[in-house]
Amino acid sequence: MDITTDMLLAAVLGYTLGSIPFGLLLTKIAGMGDVRDIGSGNIGATNVLRTGNKGLAAATLLLDLGKGLLAVSLAWYWFWYDVGWTALFVVIGHCFPVWLRFKGGKGVATNAGVAFGLAWQIGLAYAGVWIAMLAIFRISSVAGISAVVAAVGAAWWIDKPTFVPSLAIIAAIIIALHRENIQRLIKGEEPRVGSKK
């Protein structure tokens, strides 16, 4: 196969896996209705937590992370020189799934899986910053935004410059999807983890 075909297949692999809406599927299977009708209307783990079911939220987090890790791991096997391309599209698939009229999650958990798939050092930096910021501020958006930026810096720090463009674009997408959160942060109105807003 030529490079163009491989890039297309790498993108399709990433997008298809990324677009699986685990948060929505789990809450519906559990008989809790449509998670998009509560809280922020998001399909991610933070909003699933607002259903009051911590188990479902944890499962959503792990599955969203897992699909990012799986996509990148498969890309290493099939399209090793396009792994960054797959990384980008698995996050795009999560954030803009065609099945949900392009209204998905914000990509933080999926990008955690991507980070670990690209390099364990990037994954540790991502997870470390995410956990630390969540522990300090108890605000999911602060932790997520900090982690995606940390991943870009970590890739550069460990001399993996080929991953920097994809991670930078992912960071830009995720930060853009958090624009309402950023506005609430500025106003001091952003809810903390565990709130039922």
Could you tell me where the DSSP H helices lie in the chain? 3-18, 22-29, 45-49, 54-78, 83-95, 108-118, 120-137, 140-157, 164-177, 179-187
Helices 164-177 and 179-187: crossing angle, nearest 10°?
Answer: 60
Per-residue pLDDT tens over the stretch 119-158: 999 999 999 999 999 999 999 899 999 999 999 999 999 9
Give me the pLDDT at residue 195, please: 59
Per-residue pLDDT tens over the stretch 60-96: 999 999 999 999 999 999 877 789 999 999 999 999 9
| pLDDT at residue 33 tops 70 | yes
- 77 or 2, which is more confident? 77
Alpha carbons within 13 A on the beta-carbon side of 179: 4
Give me the pLDDT at residue 28, please: 93
Spatial contact of 141 and 158, defined as CB atoms under 8 Å apart: no
Spatial contact of 51 and 35, defined as CB atoms under 8 Å apart: yes
Q: How far apart are CA 67 and CA 171, in angstroms?
A: 18
State the burial class of residue 15 (Cβ atoms within 10 Å of its Cβ: 0-12, 13-18, 19+). buried
> Could you state, in order of their start, the residue ranges of all structural domains in the chain?
3-187
* pTM, 2 dp: 0.93
Amino acid present at 135:
A
Q: How far apart are CA 83 and CA 35, in angstroms?
A: 32
